[in-house]
Amino acid sequence: MKKIKIAPFMPTEVEVRELSANRAEIIAYPFESGYAVTLAHPLRRLILSSSIGYAPISVKIEGASHEFDNLRGMHEDVAVFIINLKNIHFKIKDESERVEVNYSFTGHKEVKAQDLNNNKIEVVNGDLHLATLNEDAELNFTVVITRGIGYVPSEDLQSEVDSDSIALDAFFTPVRKANYKIEPILVEDNPNYEKITFDIVTNSQIEPIEAFSNALATMHKQLSVFNGVLDVAIDSGRVSSAKDGELKPFIVGVDSLGLSARSFNSLDRSGIKYLGELVLMGEKELKEVKNLGKKSFDEINEKLDEMGYGAEYELGDTTRANLVKKIEKLKQ
């Protein structure tokens, strides 16, 4: 007999298989029929479109004024040199959004991508060929590398580059492949459940797990625009609060934490009634609680660590905002 449900089944299992440095499989299950593709398709789109990568956006070559020029002593035409340059996968070593790097090569040499490594950038496909120089060659050039997402044609970058530089088409996307497959999976003799397997390959500028995590964060941020609709529905009583279950662990009285009388009294006199208030405060604000000595501070921190809410624990932005509202209502 078919059971009547009041909520969809929640998947419980996730597996990560790192197949290589730039390839991974992410598996999640079990989903009710139809839910797997509903989640997998937009996630794939976001993995491909919102992952941050690095790309050269301009090059200034001494002795060459445009991409159809040629350079004495260099076997390749400037156009071929630029194509080779655009195929190099750079990584900026620090948190900079944009770096400018200068290079100089002379004499007989095969210049490879790995020769461009320095203290500002790292090249992840170092074996790539860039140029072949003769004995009398002198190759001096400056490359501007930036962080970005997606693809930006050179025409849109003219305002971003110097007048004597050549603007380049910028291929920022570091994800080379993002596929998924959906397979049936058995749950308690019911075959109508599904498993998603994502297969993600990057160009090594970022790891596949990072690309997947960025896509999840982007999806969460995009959907958060609808939080206001949920708040209106809850406040008007049209739907029951979906937040209560999420916030329940934090709405525990500090009197139930097993603190010493001294620590409890310090919190109570300061009007701190709930565990959630301690989690929201963090160590800095907790230290500023009036009449809370070092012993009490250490005891409370130890208790928070035991419960999994220590210094490393971070509330999500939405959960934090909802918890603040909930505690304000409880203390009215």
Lowest mean per-residue pLDDT among 39-53, 85-99, 266-280, 304-318: 304-318
In percent, how much of the chain has pLDDT > 70?
A: 93
pLDDT value for 115: 97
Tell whether the torsion through CA atoms of 173, 176, 182 and 186 is positive or negative: negative
> Angle 261-269/294-306 helices, nearest 10 degrees?
100
Q: Lowest-pLDDT range, 88-97, 102-111, 293-302, 308-317?
A: 308-317
Domain boundaries 13-51+175-227, corresponding CATH code: 3.30.1360.10
Q: What is the pLDDT of residues 74-123, one digit of tens each?
A: 999 999 999 999 999 999 998 889 999 999 999 999 999 999 999 999 99
pLDDT at 1 over 50: no
Cis peptide before 30 (omega within 30 of 0): yes
Could you tell me which residue, 272 or 312, shows the higher pLDDT?
272
For residue 120, which amino acid is it? K
For residues 207-219, average pLDDT: 92
**Chain segment 40-68, per-residue pLDDT in tens:** 999 999 999 999 999 999 999 999 988 88
For the domain covering 53-171, report its CATH number. 2.170.120.12
Residue 141 in this model has a pLDDT that exceeds 60: yes
- Indicate whether this model's pTM tops 0.85: no
Give dist(CA 27, CA 212) in Å, integer.
12
Round the average pLDDT of the chain to a whole number and report it.
88
Report, at the CATH architecture level, how domain 242-330 is classified. Answer: Orthogonal Bundle (1.10)
Q: How far apart are CA 205 and CA 192, in angstroms?
A: 39
Note the pLDDT of residue 303.
83
Return the SS3 of 257. Answer: coil
Side-chain half-sphere exposure of 74, counting CA atoms within 13 A: 25
Q: Where are the domains of the chain?
A: 13-51+175-227, 53-171, 242-330
Res. 318: pLDDT tops 80? no
CB 121 within 8 A of CB 101: yes
CATH fold match for the domains 53-171 and 242-330: no
Instruction: Work out the burial of residue 225: count CB atoms within 10 Å of its CB; fewer than 13 is exposed, 13-18 middle, 19 or more buried.
Output: exposed
Both structure tokens of 279: 């989690």
| Inter-residue contact 30 to 193 (CB < 8 Å) | yes
Amino acid at site 21: A
Query: What is the arithmetic mean of pLDDT over 255-266?
Result: 83
- Position 297 pLDDT exceeds 90: no
